[in-house]
Structure 1
Amino acid sequence: MKSINRFCAASIVTASIAAAAIWSPVQANAAAPVVSAKQSVGQFTQSSVVRDKNGNYIIRWKANQDLGSAKVYWSTSPDQIEKNGKELARTYTRYNGLVAADPKPGQRVYFLIKGGNGATIKAAERAVELQGVVNFRDLGGYATSDGRHVKWGKLFRSGELAGLTDADKLQLKTIGLKTIIDYRSNAEVAQKPDPALSGATNIRMPAMKEVEGSSNATDLNSLIATGDLSALGKPGEMLVEANKGLVQAPDAYVSLMDALLAEKTAPIVQHCTAGKDRAGLGSAIILLTLGVSESTVMDDFLLSNVYRAEANKQAMAYMGTIIKDADALASLQALMEVRQEYLQAAIDTMKQQYGSIDGFIEKGLGVSKAERAKLQAMYLE
């Protein structure tokens, strides 16, 4: 448990170092994977939305055949596009995309592409463009094995929220955020408490047990001051073990499932400090429960490297001025990143301990087949 406690401390330190980092939503979204739709006759198969350097939306799509003309609609509500969406553009599906000015600057926008045969697909930026928070993103749009899609605008993940600006808070109010789930330790929360947001309920779900009276942040700061980070082990070793531990003691994620099953909980955001490990596993568990493939879940997990790229770059540049040992820097680099082996360690532990991911969901998290079907009915379309 000692190494897992230091994992918590590592999140505190790396996040505080990167607090002034500048995040580029254009760069981040450019690397986001497209969302696949069910393959069938006369259907859209993929869609994605990113921004160019001028803030314009680049909306892309693919279809399994030419669907003729296309109309693109937009709305600030993902639930109202089909009924009340405003027309953004008319084009042809064979063009596979268009560039359009932001129809509602300062607010999150969702899009609906409609082909000439009536086929439709929704799309949105995966990132939520906030000024004071890194790695806040939407889990919507991912396809499930049965051809449904995760609803946009209901399930979000993020890093710490202490830096929210007034404009950010207004945007989250516009999104309709109702629940904030915080996986951080008491020490992390004391250092940077979540702000109160109008209309949203804050729920603490510490993902890791704490030793009373310990000061993990101080311990890691002392290690950094000495330049001896050998206690962190080989690069990546700590986070591999931490992810195994989170599956072996999944109390926070049991509570997460209970929160998701409650009525009027969504839109919901789950977060930790960097928004990549505890929130990363929570997001993976949600998507797996909804029926999203392991490969897509892994893609979403690894996106934290893209959304946190600038913050991590600046943090490592600072670390390089005080730590000269290459092995120590490699361990810190691994601590700031997400790597496939981190989430894979959690998934492998699910299978080893419970026989399968489904076994973990049912026995480890206590989600019955009926409750899983309810979750899918609530969060898929």
Structure 2
Amino acid sequence: MMKKTVLLGAALFLVISPLETVMANDNGASAANTAQAISKQGMFTNAVVERTKDGTIKLHWQTIADLGPVKVYWSANPDGGWKELARTYASFGGLSTADPNPGSRVYFKIKGGNGAMIKTAERLLPLQGTTNFRDLGGYRTTDGKTVKWGKLFRADELAGLSASDISYLQKSGLKTIVDYRTDDEVKQKPDPTIAGMKYVRNPVFGQSGSGTDLMNYMAAGEFEKMGKPGDVLIAANRDMVDHPEAYVKLFDMMLDPARADLVQHCTAGKDRTGLGSALMLLALGVPKETVVQDFMLSNKYRETYNKAAVGAMVKQFNLTDENAIEIIKALMDVRPEYINAAFDEMASKYGSIQGFLEKGIGLSTDKQAKLKKMYLE
């Protein structure tokens, strides 16, 4: 039953846009004494990139102390090839610019007069055919390193990608598309074939199931069979921890340089993909609090869609009961209790999140060290 229920969530979930904040990066301080010196002089603590409706790119940054003159660089490659874009002052807190790389992914490096530096990029990719395709880069780990930009992505369904979207992704360096959806979902909205990318079917809930039972419950007005608002997805997150085979396969791909630089996706990019993203970040040493913040971003990106979808279902099923409407809203949302149910299940079955990574996923200390070497800077 629970396997079917989460699939309803997936089947209902399309998605929406905006973007979010980036965690700080301190690439300019590699040695301990340099780090201490920069800390005394000042450093960047955060940098965010936003795109306006007319395509203008706005960079915002925060610093400790005034870093004086600032140089801003851009590149299509987060690992190098930087070109100077602008010169300004740290005290201005940011700048607006035309897109220096239209139709392609662009990364920014901001360097202060004292050598302090931070990399950043748009978290949400500016694609026409998806609404929740985002980069997991920029998050700070507990040991002060940062998840590399442009290596690990999470997304919703890809069936709506336009020709320009596909061109954008081909230029991004992506190697692998990991699809968590069921056979029924894939059959209804298959991913496009993208030259240069390996497509991997990796269903979280096996080969079948479509959430038909839940749709029938709603159509019949039998919302009591779905429990309290949120119960379906709380149970689903526990179930995903109890049956982690798809995530074991995910990490096998992450550890393979030939398949690294990947995007994992489901239908909405919020539940199955949400747990996969959480596991990725946790294995790299990102704090649980930050992981939950990333999980919750889907509400921001989906906000407009969720309102429209809930309204449409209320009309379709002629709902007046507030509890029934709240159940539908809960299916469309992500909530802290959903991902925390997964964490609680890990602790219950494996003693801790780390225990789950080691025993449930099979990530030895050596494998986790390799992941960090591959995806952190």
TM-score, with length taken from structure 2: 0.92
State the AA in 2 paired with 1:5. Answer: K
Task: Give the structure 1 partner of residue 101 of structure 2.
Answer: 104
Aligned: 1:11 with 2:10: yes
Task: Give the counterpart of 2:144 among 136, 144, 147.
Answer: 147
Distance 2:244 2:2 in 1: 17
Task: Give the structure 2 partner of residue 130 of structure 1.
Answer: 127
Task: Measure how far apart 1:89 and its partner are.
Answer: 1.0
Task: Give the counterpart of 2:281 among 287, 291, 304.
Answer: 287
Task: Give the counterpart of 1:200 among 193, 197, 202.
Answer: 197
Task: Give the counterpart of 1:316 among 285, 310, 314.
Answer: 310
Aligned: 1:190 with 2:187: yes
Distance 2:65 2:212 in 1: 59
Task: Give the structure 2 partner of residue 60 of structure 1.
Answer: 60
Secondary structure at 1:348's aligned position in 2? helix
Deviations 1:99-155 (A, max 9, x none): 112222222211000111222100111000111112000000000011110000000
Aligned pairs (5 A) from 1:1-381: 2-12=1-11, 14-15=12-13, 23=16, 25=17, 28-29=18-19, 32-37=20-25, 40-41=39-40, 42-80=42-80, 84-209=81-206, 216-323=210-317, 324=319, 325-381=321-377
Task: Measure how far apart 1:43 and its partner are.
Answer: 2.2
**Farther off after superposition, 119-128 or 313-322:** 313-322
Secondary structure at 1:343's aligned position in 2? helix
Contact 2:78-2:150 at 8 Å conserved across structures: yes
RMSD over aligned Cα, in angstroms? 1.6
Contact 1:298-1:343 at 8 Å conserved across structures: yes
Distance 1:37 1:176 in 2: 22
Q: How many residues align structurally?
A: 363
Q: Percent identity?
A: 50
Task: Measure how far apart 1:226 and its partner are.
Answer: 2.4
Secondary structure at 2:139's aligned position in 1? coil
**Farther off after superposition, 57-66 or 117-126:** 57-66
Task: Measure how far apart 1:205 and its partner are.
Answer: 1.3
Task: Give the structure 1 partner of residue 31 of structure 2.
Answer: none
Secondary structure at 1:130's aligned position in 2? coil
Deviations 1:170-200 (A, max 9, x none): 1110102110111111211121111111111
**Farther off after superposition, 349-358 or 125-134:** 349-358
Contact 1:145-1:291 at 8 Å conserved across structures: yes
Distance 1:237 1:218, change over 3 A: closer
Contact 1:5-1:210 at 8 Å conserved across structures: no
Task: Measure how far apart 1:210 and its partner are.
Answer: 5.3
Distance 1:377 1:237 in 2: 38
Contact 2:234-2:337 at 8 Å conserved across structures: yes
State the AA in 2 paired with 1:128. Answer: L
Secondary structure at 1:246's aligned position in 2? helix
Distance 1:360 1:221 in 2: 33
Secondary structure at 2:149's aligned position in 1? coil
Task: Measure how far apart 1:247 and its partner are.
Answer: 0.8
Gaps of 5+ in 1: none
Deviations 1:191-220 (A, max 9, x none): 111111111111111111456xxx534333
Distance 2:195 2:355 in 1: 38
State the AA in 1 paired with 2:281. Answer: L
Distance 1:210 1:266, change over 3 A: closer
State the AA in 2 paired with 1:169. Answer: I
Contact 2:72-2:110 at 8 Å conserved across structures: yes
Superposed structure 1 runs of 4+ greater than 4 Å apart: none
Contact 1:69-1:93 at 8 Å conserved across structures: yes
Contact 2:4-2:211 at 8 Å conserved across structures: no
Gaps of 5+ in 2: 27-34
Distance 1:99 1:235 in 2: 43
Secondary structure at 2:62's aligned position in 1? strand
Deviations 1:233-280 (A, max 9, x none): 110001001101111111111111111001122320000111000000
State the AA in 2 paired with 1:294. Answer: K
Contact 1:136-1:158 at 8 Å conserved across structures: yes
Contact 2:214-2:226 at 8 Å conserved across structures: no
Secondary structure at 1:111's aligned position in 2? strand
Secondary structure at 1:203's aligned position in 2? strand
TM-score, with length taken from structure 1: 0.91
